[in-house]
Structure 1
Amino acid sequence: MSSTGSPNPDTNRTDDIDAAAANGASAVTSKKARARTRLIAAAIVAAIVVIGAVAYTLVRSNRAKGTTVVTVGLVGDSDEEIWKTVQQVLDSENAGITIETKSFQDGICANRAQANGELDLTAFQHYAFLEQEISDNGYELSPIGETYICPLNLYSDKYTDVSQFQAGDQVAIPSNATNTGRALKVLDAAGLIQLADNTKENPTVDDIVANPSGIDIQLVDSPSIVNLLPDYAGGITNANFIVDAGRSVSDAVFQMNPDASDPALKPYVNIIVAQTSKKDDPTYQKVVDAYHSKAVADIITSSYDGTYVPAFSY
């Protein structure tokens, strides 16, 4: 009698044993995977605990040392070297103060941030700009120290001398009220226009009584002017924007002498500003005193190629 097609009991038992072994191996692998996952999770938790403990220790250490962080708002990056020097002076005096700078694209944003309590100090604007901002927005901000005066010059990618400007040439000047007035004074001094009264603090285009050069004055956002010089016959902008763009103040086709002692230029002296309620804070005064040091004056004089002129004594 043929046995073809009949089940083999020995084969069935072998298959059962193999299946059981496979299931057992799978179970062992699964247990190992779960154990490995638990170990990884435990390691992550331990790392977090260690990091937290270190951070807490550092914070507690800083508090024990009396370290105070003062956040200073700047416009652009050109003043970073100055504030590194201020930090060095503070460290040499064991003042327990750490300066943290925060850069903004323009002064309007920086003043808004300070008014909202996001900054301790700002150091980018002159008296006239601050006064205009307070008038426009009602900010309670006060100057607590002077820094430098920043030249506002006429630059051109097209001409090398102010006498080359022709009728119809477009000249870009800052659009904010205070720097519009200051730029018009530069054009007046250069002989391109004539103002009714060039001693007026904030003249406007309505104060132009003569335009012998025939130039076309365009009001443009100040930080943008340096990058738009190829599109204009000339442009007037702050020296710090020129430096930030990798240019030199000496490239100007017309420069005004930035004499910080000239009473007529007092509105354009740059200042350190605090919230009015904190203007007498002794920590802030230490920062101002560190700024008003020979080390900072030397950096301003030697490292900025005429970009700034110190407006303080030491």
Structure 2
Amino acid sequence: MRTTLKITATAAVTTALALGLSACGTSSDPGGGASAAGASADPSKPLVVAASPTPHADILNFVKKNLAEKAGLKLEVKEFTDYVLPNTATQSGEVDANFFQHKPYLDDFNKKKGTDIVPVVNVELEPLGLYSHKVKDLKSLKAGRTVAVPNDTTNEGRALKLLADNGVITLKDGVGTDANLSSVKDAKGLKFKELEAATLPRALNDVDAAVINGNYAIEAKLKPAEDALALEKSDGNPYANFLAVKRGNEKDPRVVKLAKLLNSDEVKKYIDDTYDGSVIASFGAAK
């Protein structure tokens, strides 16, 4: 159901990352002065990173245990189970960085919350999937069935696009990943239930199917590569999860070190070996 992402060689990734980081803090960037402060951060202090438990915190803890000390990086991982607090904690300075989100979500969050969080480096992709405890295939999702979808703007649009791409529903012409329930042209008799993303796995017994984010699916012991009735393709997917910081901290030497470690061959092997296709390494400078 998926194709394999082309993984950029480590050397190329490092070059791209360096270029991406050097582009920050230009005269047209209101955070230019803050970037200098980020570059002068004390590299001996621990870098505190907020993360969702799986796979984000797992990946960070792998880096902490196996790679950080050799690179001269003190790393602390702080776990959060929702999609709001990691960004607000990064904005306030409670943590130095976060790793849990994709660009469409961050763009929407910054716009709505007035935050100034920016991506640093892509790490991995968790394909969104449609799951069910009550039906065995898409053909069984007939009129009268209820499908739960994430209630946040970007992931709801992403979920509806997944359903449309697999013929479950039809969206209005020209609708992209910003779709919402009013964008559905033909629901084919299905009913929809909007729920907070983290609660969707627990709702599987109460609905006929649910579109679940990859990290929450894995935490619920679902195997996206095996259990999903429909799964996002990886090629051209804009939903890679990345390391992010408050604007101005991109050149923090600790952030630069972590970014390089997260795009290392060792981390790619860890992702491949641990998640067996349910999480896919997706390296490169985030934009």
Q: Select 2:55's aligned residue among 74, 78, 83.
A: 78
| Deviation (angstroms), 1:311 | 1.1
Confirm whether residue 277 of structure 1 aligns to residue 254 of structure 2.
no
Confirm whether residue 183 of structure 1 aligns to residue 154 of structure 2.
no
> CA contact under 8 A between 2:166 and 2:230: conserved in structure 1?
yes
* Secondary structure at 2:260 match in 1: helix
| Deviation (angstroms), 1:247 | 2.2
Confirm whether residue 231 of structure 1 aligns to residue 202 of structure 2.
no
Confirm whether residue 215 of structure 1 aligns to residue 184 of structure 2.
no
State the one-letter code of the partner of 1:89.
L
Question: How far does the alpha carbon of each residue in 1:243-280 deviate from its partner, in whole angstroms, 9 at most, with x for none?
Answer: 11122212111122222xx1xx22x1111100102122
Q: What does 1:1-314 correspond to in 2, within 5 Å? A: 67-87=44-64, 88-92=66-70, 95-197=71-173, 200-212=176-188, 214-249=189-224, 250-259=226-235, 262=236, 265-266=237-238, 268-312=239-283
- Please identify the structure whose Cα radius of gyration is greater: 1
* Secondary structure at 1:166 match in 2: coil
State the one-letter code of the partner of 1:137.
K
Question: How far does the alpha carbon of each residue in 1:194-213 deviate from its partner, in whole angstroms, 9 at most, with x for none?
Answer: 1124662311111111223x
Aligned Cα root-mean-square deviation (Å)? 1.8
| Deviation (angstroms), 1:118 | 0.6
* Secondary structure at 2:283 match in 1: coil
How many residue pairs get aligned? The number is 242
- TM-score with structure 2 setting the length: 0.80
Kindly report structure 1 stretches of 4+ aligned residues shifted beyond 4 Å.
Answer: none
> CA contact under 8 A between 1:76 and 1:241: conserved in structure 2?
no
Q: Distance in 1 between matches of 2:55 and 2:186?
A: 36
State the one-letter code of the partner of 1:293.
S
Gaps of 5+ in 2: 1-41
**Measured at CA, do residues 247 and 201 of structure 1 come closer, stay the same or move farther in structure 2, by a change above 3 Å?**
closer
Q: Distance in 2 between matches of 1:78 and 1:150?
A: 9
Question: How far does the alpha carbon of each residue in 1:197-244 deviate from its partner, in whole angstroms, 9 at most, with x for none?
Answer: 4662311111111223x1101111111010110000000011111111
Gaps of 5+ in 1: 1-64
Q: Distance in 2 between matches of 1:205 and 1:66?
A: 47
Q: Distance in 2 between matches of 1:114 and 1:231?
A: 35
> CA contact under 8 A between 2:101 and 2:242: conserved in structure 1?
yes
**Measured at CA, do residues 180 and 101 of structure 1 come closer, stay the same or move farther in structure 2, by a change above 3 Å?**
same
Percentage of matched positions with identical amino acids: 27
Q: Distance in 1 between matches of 2:248 and 2:232?
A: 36
With CA pairs under 8 Å and 6+ residues apart, which has the higher RCO, 1 or 2? 2
- TM-score with structure 1 setting the length: 0.73
Q: Distance in 2 between matches of 1:257 and 1:72?
A: 29
